[in-house]
Structure 1
Amino acid sequence: MKFGTPVPDMGSGPIPAESVTSPAYFEREREQIFKQAWLQVGRVEEIPNPGDYFTRELHVFKSNIVVVRGKDGAVRAFHNMCTHRGMALATESCGNTRGFTCEFHGWGFGLDGSLQAVPAIESFPDFDKSKLGLKALACDTWNGFIFVHWNPQPAQTLAEFMGQLAKDMDGFPFDKCQHIAHYTARVKANWKLCIDAFQEAYHATYLHRHAIPGAGDLELALPTSVRFYGPHRSVSCWLKTDIQPTPAEAIAYKHGHFGFVKADEGDSRGLNPSGDESWWFDINVFFPNFFCDLGRGWYFTYNFWPVSENDTIWNMNIYQVQADTAGDRLAQEFTRIVLRDTVYEDMSTMEYSQKAFDSGVITEQTIGDTEIAMRHQYWVADEWVNGRRP
């Protein structure tokens, strides 16, 4: 394992369980992490036309938000609540509208959030419509990904927050990939426990030894390289080339099943920043809760949305290059099923871990070098919670 950046001093001891069990600690995370960071909520393809919108229930904000494309083409985000008496404006998960009208009293808002119509406006003394527009969140995009920030005027721009990791990923053909699958789950576990299984390969050598060909090789437990970018991190994984695929697997691999290709095949822009010789894909983690894993011709994303200290909503979206042939389509379907089965195995572990820590019997996590990305996640979270942003 090599490091492509300096390694921060994160310590080497066990990780206390308090950070995954304490309601008080979670409330500090809500205020000091999630209300201070840019959070990924969607992609621009979801709202291609003026008036297109989608809503997101963000429990960590205790708020529902609406993201909408304006008449000017700009993407904006608002708290989905009327500024009169708090009624939800968009009650569907997505749609197209000329504006938002409250079903309670008929107040009307433009796509830019401005208050435009108030029935019986004369009954409100000293009324100023300009002060009662929708409550905005900061909103910006990167490579088609839509991000929001609780603060309408955050201290950091999105580009500043994403930093060098985003620059290393620039050039990847996100716009050439099509969405092939979406999975979601409600997990009775802390959001950081849910993240843990997705940023280390140590568990794959046993848990995924059947779902992923070659995963049982212990040599693959260590990353090929690791990089740290302030609160963010990137981990590259080995490619095992001597597997013996089944006939169905062989067809899928031939047509581009998620990354089982030769090292010199496909577009390499935005990939393998450390130039690893044996390379499969990069696990890119934007703090606090957005993964964007990249391979040649495919990528997938995870979001981990906290509800409470032991309750998380997990989302996964899978993308691959456009399928032009029947073989390409078969490879896409194979990818969808293999990843579904793999993450199902991951999900099977999380609630058991949460119960163990909640019991008080297990009071800490012992972290090895193969799990260095986990250590970074807990270290960064604790730094932010305690006002020491690295």
Structure 2
Amino acid sequence: MQSSQTETVAQRQERLAGVGYPPDKLKTKVDLAAMLKPEHFALEREKIFRRSWLMVGHTDDVPERGSYIVFEIPTFKASLLVVRGQDDQVRVFHNACRHRGNKLVREGEGCRKSFMCNFHGWIFSSEGKLDVITDPHMFEAVDKEDYGLIPVTSQVWENLIFVNFDEQPRETLEEFLGPEFFGRYQGYWDLHRKVASYSFEIKANWHLGVNSFTEGYHTLYLHKNTARDYQGGRINPQRHRPHMELMKRHHRYSAPGNPDHRILPVEELAIRYGRKILPAFDFDFSMLPDGVNPTRYEYWAFDVLEFFPNLVVVAGNHFRAEMSFWPIDHERTLVTNRTYNYKPKNLGERLSQDYFRARGRDVVREDLNTLEAQQQMLASGSMPHVLLSKQEMALQHHFAVTRDMLEAP
């Protein structure tokens, strides 16, 4: 579906009526304050997060046999061990020794053929099997086959590793992602390398974090100094989205680049030795799979994908960012931001990437700046609801999917 540069918001609303989600479920008024309460979060944890497929890493994070990472999920107070076995298969386990529950690996990443608990010396293979029980004769009738590491249901899509905490997942990963995502990104995730990763805790509900990155209405105002003219321009002064898809769970929209963007001297130097990333964009997307910029919009900047419930991906030509929002409780969220750029061929391209990485970092900080202020005012109960425009239709969809999952048996 190619949308015109002059398409109005009303026309866009009509066009979206048949893209995969019933428009009558979208609400412009949302009682968000009610969603910030502890009892509401308890329901979300069990009916949304436990039943969803959640991204915990990439196969690139465990490149060799025996490679592992420790991944913490505060939502379930869980510590996971993601490891590539000697059979080259990637598995995910609870990071707990089966003897007394000691954390098998405290933190970080590495590569080893086996894992020895530092409490009593039990040893587990990289495939999760219990290989050694120290002083075994002091245990009565223990079969090592029964005491391997406890697996977490996991699947790999492209090079993304997902887990599901439900005892019997209600959907496969393919069913959860849907055809709009599952078969349309072949090779895209391999185009880039990780250049930065950082995590921090914010005193705000997880919904607010996800929402801050899934609408473009704010960009004209919040980013007026850091990325003043990177979207829209004369042909689209209000920066309306040229394309949006609302799916059963997830959504995707394209952001409009500005063909009239004025390149500053330092930016020009970075572009001379590298590629355009942000705030200028390379409008040649011919090499990308059809899931990226699906309408082939001429002045495309990047796509924003929400993998419901808590993963937001900014998918560009030579870059992408992956932001995860892990709820700790009803008013605290662990935010993780991972930045990826094209694989550089020389020092000039690496220095160019550093400039754009710093610019992108400042934009993300502005996006996060409003969250704790929103949390405080909404939690006060002073507002009966928040009001969402058609520019914020992705937020309407997010809350509709939330209602769907909470109402499911």
**TM-score of the superposition, structure 1-length normalised?**
0.93
Deviation at 1:57, TM superposition (A): 1.3
Deviation at 1:33, TM superposition (A): 1.0
1:335 to 330, 351, 356: 356
| Residues 19 and 26, structure 1, Cα contact 8 Å, conserved in 2 | no
| Residues 55 and 65, structure 1, Cα contact 8 Å, conserved in 2 | yes
2:251 to 219, 225, 233: 233
| Residue type at the aligned position of 2:283 | A
Distance 2:243 2:379 in 1: 34
Distance 2:199 2:310 in 1: 15
Return 5+ residue gaps in structure 1 as ranges.
none
- Identity over aligned residues, as a percent? 31
| Residue type at the aligned position of 1:362 | M
1:66–1:152 distance in 2 versus 1, CA, 3 Å? farther
| Residue type at the aligned position of 2:180 | L
Of residues 18-27 and 122-131 in structure 1, the stretch that sits farther from structure 2 once superposed is: 122-131
1:144 partnered with 2:165: no
| Residue type at the aligned position of 1:341 | D
Q: Show the counterpart of 1:105.
A: 120
Q: Deviations over 1:144-201 (max 9, x none)?
A: 1111111365232222211123236423432231211223221110011011110111
Q: Show the counterpart of 1:364.
A: 385
| Residues 99 and 110, structure 1, Cα contact 8 Å, conserved in 2 | yes
Deviation at 1:100, TM superposition (A): 1.8
Of residues 219-228 and 254-263 in structure 1, the stretch that sits farther from structure 2 once superposed is: 254-263
Deviation at 1:331, TM superposition (A): 2.8
Distance 1:238 1:138 in 2: 38
Q: Show the counterpart of 2:341.
A: 320
| Residues 83 and 91, structure 2, Cα contact 8 Å, conserved in 1 | yes
Distance 1:122 1:241 in 2: 74
1:53 partnered with 2:68: yes
Distance 1:84 1:130 in 2: 13
1:33 partnered with 2:33: no
| Residues 176 and 321, structure 1, Cα contact 8 Å, conserved in 2 | yes
1:308 partnered with 2:323: no
Secondary structure in structure 2 of the residue aligned to 1:136: coil
Deviation at 1:334, TM superposition (A): 1.9
| Residues 203 and 221, structure 1, Cα contact 8 Å, conserved in 2 | no
Q: Deviations over 1:197-254 (max 9, x none)?
A: 1011111110001111315867343211110221010011111111222111223345
Q: Deviations over 1:54-95 (max 9, x none)?
A: 111111111111101100000111111122221110113112
Deviation at 1:103, TM superposition (A): 1.9
| Residue type at the aligned position of 1:50 | R
Distance 2:141 2:107 in 1: 34
Q: Show the counterpart of 2:4.
A: none
1:355–1:104 distance in 2 versus 1, CA, 3 Å? same
Distance 2:112 2:282 in 1: 47
Deviation at 1:369, TM superposition (A): 0.6
Q: Deviations over 1:238-271 (max 9, x none)?
A: 1111122211122334532316345335623242
1:261–1:194 distance in 2 versus 1, CA, 3 Å? closer
Deviation at 1:122, TM superposition (A): 2.7
Return 5+ residue gaps in structure 2 as ranges.
1-8
Secondary structure in structure 2 of the residue aligned to 1:307: strand
| Residues 40 and 145, structure 1, Cα contact 8 Å, conserved in 2 | yes
| Residues 220 and 228, structure 2, Cα contact 8 Å, conserved in 1 | no
Distance 2:393 2:183 in 1: 20
4+ runs of 1 displaced by more than 4 Å?
Answer: 215-218
Q: Equivalent residues in 2 for 1:1-390 (5 A)?
A: 2=12, 3=15, 5-8=19-22, 9-151=24-166, 153-167=168-182, 169-214=184-229, 219-254=237-272, 255-258=274-277, 260-264=280-284, 267-269=287-289, 270-387=291-408
Of residues 343-352 and 162-171 in structure 1, the stretch that sits farther from structure 2 once superposed is: 162-171
Secondary structure in structure 1 of the residue aligned to 2:178: helix
Of residues 42-51 and 150-159 in structure 1, the stretch that sits farther from structure 2 once superposed is: 150-159
Distance 1:340 1:30 in 2: 30
| Residue type at the aligned position of 2:310 | N
| Residues 137 and 151, structure 1, Cα contact 8 Å, conserved in 2 | no
Deviation at 1:105, TM superposition (A): 2.2
Q: Deviations over 1:323-346 (max 9, x none)?
A: 224442233112201111001111
1:139–1:265 distance in 2 versus 1, CA, 3 Å? closer
Secondary structure in structure 2 of the residue aligned to 1:257: coil
Deviation at 1:371, TM superposition (A): 0.6
| Residue type at the aligned position of 1:299 | R
Distance 1:175 1:284 in 2: 17
1:309–1:114 distance in 2 versus 1, CA, 3 Å? same
Secondary structure in structure 2 of the residue aligned to 1:381: helix
1:338–1:285 distance in 2 versus 1, CA, 3 Å? same
| Residue type at the aligned position of 2:362 | D
Distance 1:225 1:386 in 2: 29
Distance 1:223 1:118 in 2: 59
**TM-score of the superposition, structure 2-length normalised?**
0.89
Distance 1:264 1:89 in 2: 47
